[in-house]
Structure 1
Amino acid sequence: MSRGKRQKNRFVSALAAVVLAALVPAAAIAGPLTDKGTQPGLNHPIEASGDCSLCHGNFDAQLHVEPWTTWAGSMMAQAGRDPLFWAALDVANNDAPGAGDFCLRCHTPRGWLAERSEPPLGSEDGCGMLGRIDEPDNDFDGINCHLCHRMMINPSPPAGEQNVYTENGQYWIDDGDCGGQFEPCRHGPYDYLGAGESPPPHAWVYSAYHEDSLICGNCHNVTSPLETLIDGGIDTGIPFPIERTFREWESSSYSALGPGFVTCQNCHMPDAQDDPVYASSFLSNNRTGDMPLHYFVGGNAWIPDVLRQEYPNLGLSSELTATRNLALDLLQNDTATVDLAILEPATAGQPMDVEVTVTNLSGHKLPTGYGEGRRMWINVQAQDGNSQLIWESGAYDAATGVLTHDSQAKIYLVEQGIWNYNGTNECDAADALDRPMFHFVLGNCIAIDNRIPPLGFTGGNDPQIMPVNHSYPETFPGSGELVNYDVTPYAVPIPPGVVPPVTVTATLHYQTTSKDYIDFLFNEAIENSFADDCIERSAGFPGMTRAEVLKGMWEAYGRSAPVDVAADVVAAATDLDGDGFAPPADCNDGDDQIFPGAPELCDNADNDCDSQIDEGNPGGGSSCGTGQQGVCAQGTEQCISGGIQCVANNSPATEQCNGLDDDCDGQTDENNPGGGGSCSTGIPGACSDGTLQCNSGVLQCIPDSPGSAEICDGIDNDCDGGVDEGNPGGGAGCNTGQLGVCASGVQQCTGGALVCTQQNNPSPEACNGADDDCDGTVDENNPGGGASCSTGLQGVCSDGTALCSGGNLICEPDTTGSAEVCDGLDNDCDGTVDEDNPGGGTACSTGQLGVCDAGTEVCQAGAFVCEPTTAAGNEVCGNGLDDDCDGAVDEEEDCALCDPADTYSLPTQTSRLIIKLIATPARDKVVAKGAFVMPDSSASTPDTEDVTLLIADEAGEFFSATIPATNFLPKSGGKKYDYKDSTRPYEFGGLRQG
């Protein structure tokens, strides 16, 4: 086994508990810029890497995957020999004296931990480092085996410090005795617990930290110890982020646990897949698929090749070559993709729109890491059909190292500057002479950072890693993740007369060190009189500044030749005639009237490029005359062989019955075409058979025989669909030879012959003066008679019995009339009952009082009653009579209502059901007695005159009211009237004429 790498998770501080308590790191303080993590002055110095090679290198001559062998040529191993580092260190020390100590901690950690980066044992310029730079196993070995495998998470850091850091090389080094073995533990990814596994012969301890990306953060986050970040002129207080490769990875989807989780080691130290593979020369513990290759491969393919040629005494030619080749492989296969899209055809004399999409495949920004002089750019070239370059963006001159900054050039880089350096109140990344500046330790602002984010990048608002002066959209609105690609548009000018086809090539280049950076370092050294390089070589000292050494190497070894990372080539369709289309869609690129969708012309050419010529009859379709006769005279203009011709719509044909000259001989329907055959006319009877005849262009069936008047012969003579209809020859009366009503007949045409048909059949005898039952006797046995009936007479003569007489039923009265008597019947059948008071007229007494007692017998309802001669009325004052029949004569109470001096005559009034009187205000009661009887002398016909009443109220006071004629209501039996108000009855005691 067994390795914690399979856990694939972030090493947490709890795991530090496995570290032995005896592993106590040193706590010395070296200086103000590097006072975190393990400080110089170790109990156990860092051993030379050559010691490790005895077991971990040069034992597999076939595979060359041993840990030391793969590490030896890496930039980790050569971090202290990189000539670019030493030239930049001089600038840092010049900008901030003593700052070199900060840089040496990562690049020469063996010398730094041995106190050789500061006085008294050394200096910040690295001149105190032990060994020659072009020889192995000394302070210039960079991050060596013993350093890396003694790194740990500190289980008990000093007060105020963290147990792990991810910036500025603030690593913790195990400096204790490993379990009493008198040396520190080597920390690594194996626990040797698997069956048959053999532990190493030196002190060791399992470390999940070495499988975690945290360990890479030690050096791959670099933060300025001197400056804070200024954003738009505002000091954010954030220590200035010089490099943020680890933080970029942390903000990508690769750092999230799950299927897409990828550590730094997964990419830069992939596991060996050969079988078997071993980590040591003991050839035990086969690590197939479980041994990280120590290539630490990155994007720097130039420096390994420089060191291979400059420092042959290292004896690492094959190792440095392998590193260069691995860097090229990583750059060209796992770094980015380029996709070129041509958005329109190449049209001579016009720009052609092109888009180039660069997609970042790495786990951090592209490019990342040390920003000074490091850049990527897109080179776009357009060539004509003769492979001649007609346009280029991002051109690079390999002879001079100059990259052309044309108006459309896209260069991916980060430019860190100094705020207001030139008095511009901006982030100045160039000096007053417009020369690019690279002051590593003085930078405090970011002028531009358009580097492409990694997949799932969430640092879009993080001021330490966010894009600056360039915008990357979110993967979708609100996702919080920026896209990992960049799309750059180009307008490629196409010259007139270009030879097709135009081919466009987009290439993404990566360069480790630019001419701008080399020139800056050189100028700084000259202008500031930097001392000559003090680091010794096998041949002695260079006798020149480090910047001069670097520039010489740069010019001698390809000027850090750009690497072609990815490319795409597309042949553009070329539109030579400027019609907006190019071959193959444009089938004639020499004629701007011929292109897909162009209107087709009658010119014997394929104008619309649909592989058809003159289709759709272009220019034709109009009517025209051919000069021929008949149906051949009318034609249509047709496009034929590129010209318009009048083509007859019809050719001569056999004459048909259609009113046309089908054979174009000037005659229409001659010789009865289609006619002569027998046919059915569709007419019934004698007219049904016919012969076909062409008439007015239509074949008609003409009857062979016309119709005639219908006769009684069983044939439809008049061709109307009916046979012998209308009783032809019939209708005359005839005698059937029978009796009674059965003797009468009519001549009827039946079956083609006249027959005397009986009109009536025998039926029950009816009272009609006829022999209905055809028995020779008329109206026998009183048919229909004998029933009770009404004679139509009045009174007792109304009832009778039906009798058939003279062929008619009559009602014969059962009783004849007599003289009228008082019995409630109409005895004399005159319509009046007991008229003329039969038996009455005798005087009688009614039994009432006053003038109402005298009466006369009157026949009423078949009996005699005594009817008063005089009816009760208003008491008349002074006549000595009981006028109101109340047993009192001229009583005072009633007489008070009378006005005997007045006389009156009453006009005829109109009667109504209700009489209403509007009472005088405050007169709420009226003494009301008596009734008004219209005098006999007055007219009986109502009129429309009003009457005024004089009415006494309860207090004896009089008031008058007018009664409209419409308010009188007659009582039954005479001319007596009542009067009523709508709410109370009134009676009146006197009238005066109104």
Structure 2
Amino acid sequence: MYFEKRVLHTLRITGLLATFSVLSACGGGSSGDPGEEEVPITDITHLPAARNILPELARSEASFEGVHYSGSDACSTCHNDPDMVVSTAVKDVTRDVSIGTAWETSMMANATRDPYWHAVVAAELDNFPGLEDTINDKCIVCHAPMAHDLAEKEGLDLRLFDKVSEVDGSVIQQGLYSMTETDELFNHAMDGVSCSLCHQMDGTNLGTEASMSGGYEVVGSVTGDNDDRPAYGQYADPEVGYMRQNAGFLAQQGLHLSTSESCATCHNLNVHAVSEEGLALEGDAVFAEQAVYSEWENSDYAVGGPKEANCQSCHMPKLDEEVIIGQNAPGKRPDFAEHTFLGANTVVQDMLMNFGDELGVKPGMDFAGSIARNREFLKTAATVTLTEGGVIDNTLSFDVNIENNTGHRLPSGYHSRRVYLHVQVLDSSGEQVFESGKIRADGSIVGVSEDVDPATWEIHYQTITSETQVQVYQAITGNSDGDRTHSVLASSFYLKDNRLTPAGMDKNSIRDDNTLPDTFGVFGVAMDDDSDFNNGKDTVTYRVSVPGSDIYTVSAELRYQPISYGHLLDLWTQSETVDQVDMFRTIYDGTTLRDEVIDTSSQIMQ
């Protein structure tokens, strides 16, 4: 029965691919080898009709004080106060940098309420029902870590969605998704990656393979007295008695929290790949689903490197001035690390802001301010420059140079993300004569093959000569049959991985390093045929047909999209039967924000 379900799902996609018209001018897709010539693309824009349903998640109680953890509101009682606790002047604007306020609008805080995460987990459960326990464990361990650890310590059943009887539809075991604030597991889960999880994380195994893929350890009190549960922080002289008396945690210095290894517990994630039928692959293949820490470790930003900077240096920047960090604190603290957890996923933050009631988000939070901060943060991620070109025989030639300024790949993390070049050429009268990489209102990009047929992908270009060619930096995963897949569990290798490497990460030496997974590195044309793609840099040559000699204005934008449209097309094929997929589709259709600009360069050429 399980195999038949997988076959039906495959037939559904195959039928869509076969039914709709072939568009041979859609771009440079590939059905196998990413270096092969452009192939016709099949239009599957006719998807199952949207049901337009929305989630109805309950609001949680974040002031709980449990045996193992306390909720974020319990911590914010002392660590939030815009007038007295933490405020500073940045760009002549006074802003609240209270710990709880900074954290609550981050993706860390909302990791369990992320509607895209709900949809992807539900889709994987639909695809691989025989792997229900594995999927729940692997996905919840980092998205709802307090609930996961509580369930392990107390022997509780933990799943994201209800387990329903196939006989009569009754609920056999309740999932987090349908619980309310009266449920202890729900409150622990919906607090996301919360205060007392990170600040109790033990440092003993950090940096080892055992600590990664959700292998963090929370030991708790070593004395048996619950008030001796550790509350690790950055300072050597914390206010021990006050926190122990009022919060039931023993404040102490824990320098391991300020290391990249603490972030690696969830941002290095290996999965055991399975076949399309859900069977373990021969040799128990390990797929590096994301390797943010390994990317950093092999870059100039690693400890001892010429650009040494840990994860927190960028994502939790330290303030230039001293601030009070808690009520009744003895004085102001220097070098305080902000708890903004800066990132780039403004699209989902926008969804959390505008669909807060449906997603159970606490009202009144400043998502707009958080989005603005993340937008500015993203602008530091890379630099785009133009190399002066000229017109010869009605062809304007120029180079676009990109340099990655982050300590990891760009984009890094989950494979739905992509960075792409939007290039325009205007003549002296302001008329556009060329455009590559134009984004549509629905999030699709003109000329990108996967945005018409998600079974294909845009090849990596060294030279672009047509508006149907777009440079897209992304990871494309393949399954055990050698075909493209959008599933995490079915991914066993990379068909294409031309995400910009960080400075110092040499693609050639990485391939020769047998201490890293075989699925870590650069793959496809960017690895084999593009010599200038390396160590955080890439150059793309454009040769554009123009009417003749004139003064042309060339502009190049590097843009970031956290959820690629082609990936969504594949996901939407399940919206007819999987409620959470249709819910996310409804939220996506009700959202206008699709991507962000990283950097722009403009130059006049003739």
When normalised by structure 1's length, the TM-score is 0.45
Do the aligned residues in 2 keep the contact of 1:352 with 1:493 (CA within 8 Å)? Answer: yes
| Structure 1 segment 786-865 matched on structure 2, within 5 A | none
Change (3 A) 1:445 1:54: same
> Which residue, 123, 131, 136 being the options, matches 2:180?
131
1:125 Cα deviation after fit: 3.0
> Which residue, 517, 529, 540 being the options, matches 1:488?
540
Comparing 88-97 and 173-182, the one that deviates more: 173-182
> What secondary structure, in the 3-state scheme, does the structure 1 residue paired with 2:344 have?
coil
The corresponding residue for 1:97 is 132
The corresponding residue for 2:91 is none
Asked whether 1:55 is paired with 2:78, we answer: yes
Distance in structure 2 (CA, Å) of the matches to 1:138 and 1:84: 20
Change (3 A) 1:327 1:87: same
Change (3 A) 1:564 1:345: same
> What secondary structure, in the 3-state scheme, does the structure 1 residue paired with 2:573 have?
helix
The corresponding residue for 1:412 is 473
Distance in structure 1 (CA, Å) of the matches to 2:319 and 2:402: 30
1:520 Cα deviation after fit: 1.8
Q: Which runs of 5+ in 1 are unaligned?
A: 1-41, 229-233, 421-426, 430-436, 531-544, 574-994
Do the aligned residues in 1 keep the contact of 2:273 with 2:491 (CA within 8 Å)? Answer: no
Distance in structure 2 (CA, Å) of the matches to 1:398 and 1:187: 46
The corresponding residue for 1:386 is 429
The corresponding residue for 1:83 is 115
1:122 Cα deviation after fit: 3.8
| Structure 1 segment 216-231 matched on structure 2, within 5 A | 216-227=263-274
Mark the structure with the bigger radius of gyration.
1
1:278 Cα deviation after fit: 1.6
> Which residue, 142, 150, 167 being the options, matches 2:200?
150
Superimposed CA distance per residue, residues 142-162 of structure 1 (whole angstroms, 9 cap, x where no aligned partner): 10001111101248x9xxxx9
The corresponding residue for 1:668 is none
Distance in structure 2 (CA, Å) of the matches to 1:416 and 1:445: 6
Distance in structure 1 (CA, Å) of the matches to 2:225 and 2:188: 28
Distance in structure 1 (CA, Å) of the matches to 2:370 and 2:543: 39
The corresponding residue for 2:20 is none
Asked whether 1:213 is paired with 2:255, we answer: no
Query: Letter of the aligned partner of 1:410 in structure 2?
Result: Q
Do the aligned residues in 2 keep the contact of 1:509 with 1:563 (CA within 8 Å)? Answer: yes
> Which residue, 60, 63, 67 being the options, matches 1:44?
67
The corresponding residue for 1:439 is 487
Distance in structure 2 (CA, Å) of the matches to 1:546 and 1:128: 13
> Which structure has the higher relative contact order (CA within 8 Å, separation 6+)?
2
Superimposed CA distance per residue, residues 6-51 of structure 1 (whole angstroms, 9 cap, x where no aligned partner): xxxxxxxxxxxxxxxxxxxxxxxxxxxxxxxxxxxx9933221111
1:336 Cα deviation after fit: 0.4
> What secondary structure, in the 3-state scheme, does the structure 2 residue paired with 1:524 have?
coil
| Structure 1 segment 955-994 matched on structure 2, within 5 A | none
The corresponding residue for 1:377 is 420
Distance in structure 2 (CA, Å) of the matches to 1:476 and 1:257: 27
Do the aligned residues in 2 keep the contact of 1:358 with 1:485 (CA within 8 Å)? Answer: yes
| Structure 1 segment 231-246 matched on structure 2, within 5 A | 239-246=286-293
Asked whether 1:515 is paired with 2:565, we answer: yes
Change (3 A) 1:83 1:418: same
Change (3 A) 1:45 1:396: same
> What secondary structure, in the 3-state scheme, does the structure 2 residue paired with 1:566 have?
strand
Superimposed CA distance per residue, residues 709-734 of structure 1 (whole angstroms, 9 cap, x where no aligned partner): xxxxxxxxxxxxxxxxxxxxxxxxxx
The corresponding residue for 1:566 is 599
- Identical-residue share of aligned pairs (%): 23
Do the aligned residues in 1 keep the contact of 2:285 with 2:492 (CA within 8 Å)? Answer: no
Do the aligned residues in 1 keep the contact of 2:324 with 2:332 (CA within 8 Å)? Answer: yes
1:359 Cα deviation after fit: 0.5
> Which residue, 116, 131, 144 being the options, matches 1:108?
144
Do the aligned residues in 1 keep the contact of 2:480 with 2:492 (CA within 8 Å)? Answer: yes
Asked whether 1:549 is paired with 2:583, we answer: yes
Change (3 A) 1:128 1:114: farther
The corresponding residue for 1:281 is 327
Superimposed CA distance per residue, residues 224-260 of structure 1 (whole angstroms, 9 cap, x where no aligned partner): 13459xxxxx978651111111110011011132552
Distance in structure 2 (CA, Å) of the matches to 1:371 and 1:565: 19
Do the aligned residues in 2 keep the contact of 1:367 with 1:452 (CA within 8 Å)? Answer: yes
| Structure 1 segment 234-273 matched on structure 2, within 5 A | 239-257=286-304, 260-273=307-320
Asked whether 1:353 is paired with 2:385, we answer: no
1:339 Cα deviation after fit: 0.8
Change (3 A) 1:475 1:488: closer
> What secondary structure, in the 3-state scheme, does the structure 1 residue paired with 2:489 have?
coil
Distance in structure 2 (CA, Å) of the matches to 1:518 and 1:389: 30
Change (3 A) 1:399 1:384: farther
Distance in structure 2 (CA, Å) of the matches to 1:93 and 1:211: 36
1:105 Cα deviation after fit: 0.9
Query: Letter of the aligned partner of 1:468 in structure 2?
Result: F
Do the aligned residues in 2 keep the contact of 1:117 with 1:123 (CA within 8 Å)? Answer: no
Distance in structure 2 (CA, Å) of the matches to 1:353 and 1:393: 14
1:516 Cα deviation after fit: 1.7
Supply the RMSD in Å over aligned alpha carbons. 3.2
Change (3 A) 1:305 1:567: same
Change (3 A) 1:388 1:65: same
| Structure 1 segment 328-367 matched on structure 2, within 5 A | 328-332=375-379, 334-345=380-391, 350-367=394-411
Superimposed CA distance per residue, residues 749-780 of structure 1 (whole angstroms, 9 cap, x where no aligned partner): xxxxxxxxxxxxxxxxxxxxxxxxxxxxxxxx
Query: Letter of the aligned partner of 1:493 in structure 2?
Result: S
Change (3 A) 1:458 1:491: closer
Change (3 A) 1:442 1:258: closer
Distance in structure 2 (CA, Å) of the matches to 1:266 and 1:198: 26
1:111 Cα deviation after fit: 2.1
Q: Which runs of 5+ in 2 are unaligned?
A: 1-64, 88-93, 163-173, 245-249, 276-280, 449-466
Change (3 A) 1:235 1:358: farther
Asked whether 1:524 is paired with 2:579, we answer: no
Distance in structure 2 (CA, Å) of the matches to 1:412 and 1:380: 15
Query: Letter of the aligned partner of 1:442 in structure 2?
Result: A
1:399 Cα deviation after fit: 4.6
Name the count of aligned residue pairs: 476
The corresponding residue for 2:351 is 306
1:284 Cα deviation after fit: 2.7
Do the aligned residues in 1 keep the contact of 2:300 with 2:306 (CA within 8 Å)? Answer: no
More helix by share: 2
Query: Letter of the aligned partner of 1:554 in structure 2?
Result: Y
When normalised by structure 2's length, the TM-score is 0.72
The corresponding residue for 2:503 is 455
Change (3 A) 1:341 1:154: closer
